[in-house]
Structure 1
Amino acid sequence: MGNQCAQPIQKLTRCVSLTLGGILVLTGAVLADEGSYYGILRNRPTGITGTWIIGDRSFQADQRTRLDEEDGPLKVGVCAEVKYDDEDRHLEIERQPMSKCHP
Structure 2
Amino acid sequence: MAFSESLLVALFCWAVVFSVLIILFTIIRTFSFALKLLPKKAVEVPAAEVAAVEEEEYSSGTLKLKDVDEQTAAMIMAIVSDESGIPLSELIFKSIKQIAA
TM-score, length-normalised on structure 1? 0.29
Task: Determine which structure has the larger helix proportion and give its number.
Answer: 2
TM-score, length-normalised on structure 2? 0.30
Instruction: State which structure, 1 or 2, has the greater radius of gyration over its C-alpha atoms.
Output: 2
Task: Determine which structure has the larger strand proportion and give its number.
Answer: 1
